[in-house]
Amino acid sequence: GGLALADLPPLPAKDKYKVGFAQTESNNPWRIAQTKSMQDEAGKLGYQLVYTDAAGSAAKQVADVNSMIAQGVDLIFLAPREEKPLIPAVMAAKKAGIPVILLDRNVDQALAKAGEDYVTFIGSDFVDEGKRIAEWLVKNNGGKTKIIQLEGTTGSSPANDRKKGFDEAINAAGGFTLLASQSGDFARDKGRQVAEALLQAHPDADVIYAHNDEMAMGAIAALEAAGKKPGTDVIVLSIDGGKEAVQAVVDGKINAVVECNPRFGPKAFETMAKYAKGEKIDAWVKNDDKFYDPSNAAAELANAY
Ligand code: GYE
């Protein structure tokens, strides 16, 4: 207890920083674009970036953060794989006097607080992403109402919140049935396997909502293997909006995608600079997300990551 622990560690002014970036995995284009954006920006500033890839393991990610602490980095950017297991890492950094900025995923808000345990969360409004895709469905469903949901990594903030926003909007609209909702771990092949099993159990499904592009692409493969036309027989909805998914909207295989922008570099280092100057940082530095459907997908394709 005591006053000292209520305060965030300050970031002293320096010309060049040594900064940690604890990535959660690198098995998809979203992660690769995010890492590149962080590396590019660190490079521009001439900062040393200590990069780790937890390869999809929360336990490894905790160890990665501990090793950054041991190496004496000035600040840690952390993309926490899951909301609860990364809390000890956030607290260990704070105890060691190293400020943490959460990138793209959040931690459990009952267990750690922005402005107290970590500087801020930089990322999208995942509840709103789920809500926006649901609202598109409510308006454009053409009578299709029987939904399979492919959830992201269990216990991760985007999976929790993309489900919450979608389910609430669908329930509020009425007339829809959520046949099944299961994790595909944000991964393409897992998404394909889960979609295949759920389509077998629920052959009447006519909507698939995937929490990211990777699982949406997996679902498209499962639909085609089952002799169904994605985008026509079954509405396919996704979140992320990478090039492949926006192209799938152009091709009519995905009906709509909410963007989740992975280009964090400029905003991340700008926020760090503000913090070093002692400026007040909001608890949540929000990213704005575009929306892609057949009305704009072709025009936006070149801008997608
Ligand atoms: O949607 C997904 C990635 O945390 C917002 O994680 C991110 C999500 C993104 O692996 O594709």
Q: To the nearest 10°, the Cα dihedral for 120, 77, 267, 241?
A: -100
The predicted pLDDT at position 7 comes to 82
- Using CA atoms, how far residue 237 sits from 132, 241, 250, 297, in Å, is 11, 11, 13, 14
What percentage of the chain exceeds 70 in pLDDT? 98
- Between the CA of 97 and the centroid of ligand 1 the distance, in Å, is 29
The average pLDDT across 242-264 equals 97
Judge whether residue 151 has pLDDT over 50. Answer: yes
Distance (Å) from CA 212 to ligand 1 centroid = 7
Closest ligand 1 atom number to CA of residue 213: 11
Q: Choose one of 23, 26, 28, 30 to mutate for the ligand 1 pocket test, by most ligand atoms within 8 angstroms of C-beta.
A: 30
Task: Name residues contacting ligand 1 (CB within 6 A).
Answer: 28, 30-31, 104-105, 158, 186, 212, 239-240, 260
CA–centroid distance, 104 to ligand 1, in Å, is 8
pLDDT at 2: 41
> pLDDT averaged over the chain?
96
pLDDT digits (tens, 9 = 90+) for 26-80: 999 999 999 999 999 999 999 999 999 999 999 999 999 999 999 999 999 999 9
Instruction: Quote ipTM for the complex.
Output: 0.97
Question: Does residue 4 surpass a pLDDT of 80?
Answer: no
pTM score above 0.90: yes
Beta-sheet pairing, 75-78 with 48-53: unpaired
The pLDDT of 209-235, averaged and rounded, is: 98
Question: Does the pLDDT at position 246 exceed 90?
Answer: yes
pLDDT digits (tens, 9 = 90+) for 165-193: 999 999 999 999 999 999 999 999 999 99
Ligand 1 atom nearest the C-alpha of 186 is 10
Q: Which of 121, 212, 305 to mutate to test the pocket of ligand 1 (most atoms within 8 A of CB)?
A: 212
Q: Is the pLDDT of residue 5 over 60?
A: no
Angle between helix 87-95 and 58-70 (nearest 10)? 10
pLDDT digit string, tens, across residues 186-217: 999 999 999 999 999 999 999 999 999 999 99
Mean pLDDT of all residues in 263-290: 96
Measured in Å, residue 289 CA sits from the centre of ligand 1 at 13
Ligand 1 nearest-atom number relative to CA 214: 11
Buried b (16+ CB within 10 A) or exposed e, 3-37: eeeeebbebeeeeebbbbbbbbbebbbbbebbbeb
